[in-house]
Amino acid sequence: MKTIILFIVGLLLISASCKKNKKCSRSYNLEHPVSVYPIKESYNVGDTIWFEMSFADVFNAEITNNFTGKIFYENIQLKNFDFRRNFFRIFKLNIDTIPAFSQEYKWNAFSSMPILGTVVQEYPEGIEYNLLYFNNQYRLKIGVICNEVGNYLFSPLYRKPYPNSSYGANQQDLTPECEQEIIIGIRTPINKQTDGTHLTNYHLFEQFMNPALENNLGRIKNECFTFVVN
């Protein structure tokens, strides 16, 4: 009897050891909410539009188990984390026969005024930025001065450090219990309200462009901001 008990205990220990050592591979989607203000349909040349982010370092992450494909949600804390690479882009909406993200880059129609966070570099499409981390909060505040008339689309973007490389090249250390992890997407809900709606002037986008041409209309509705400069 004693031998049987020892045998059963041994099997349980082996089983527990296998579970503990089993490889873990996860992909993460996070949210970085953005406030754009003053919320208006149109601005005048010389006006300043403010783009601001302020959120805690605990995220309710959408997580995908890369082995099973199962999606679940879990709170994770990322302290003083480098979410590279993040961009604010502006497109000029000129041609309604091509999609929004094929329009002309037009960051040079504006001047940026960083208040919180760091502008890493400016490009024709926009700026790459780093968030400021302080007191368990991530912050960014940038004023954008309107210099040229037109119809515009503000579009934040997360781009993995090595977008064309393998999963391994982009691995990040996000949680202590999982060996292989990567952030595959950062959503940027703009002016999200308590009722779940987003104040993004999407009705203007419908006036300027052809929504049927877009392959990710949800992103344009909720994670971009359409506006006019007069």
Q: How far, in whole angstroms, is CA 163 from its chain's centroid?
A: 15
Question: Sign of dihedral through CA atoms 47, 122, 137, 157?
Answer: positive
What is the reported pLDDT for 23?
A: 87
Q: Are 202 and 220 in contact (CB under 8 A)?
A: yes
Domain ranges across the chain: 23-229
Q: What is the tens place of the pLDDT at every residue in 44-86? A: 999 999 999 999 999 999 999 999 999 999 999 999 999 989 9
Q: What is the tens place of the pLDDT at every residue in 91-108? A: 999 999 999 999 999 999
pTM, rounded to two decimals: 0.87
Task: Show the low-confidence residues of the chain (pLDDT under 70).
Answer: 1-22
Q: How far, in whole angstroms, is CA 204 from its chain's centroid?
A: 23
What is the reported pLDDT for 207?
A: 97
What is the reported pLDDT for 169?
A: 82
Cβ-based neighbour number of residue 151 at 10 Å = 19
What is the reported pLDDT for 5?
A: 43
In percent, the amount of the chain with pLDDT more than 90 equals 84
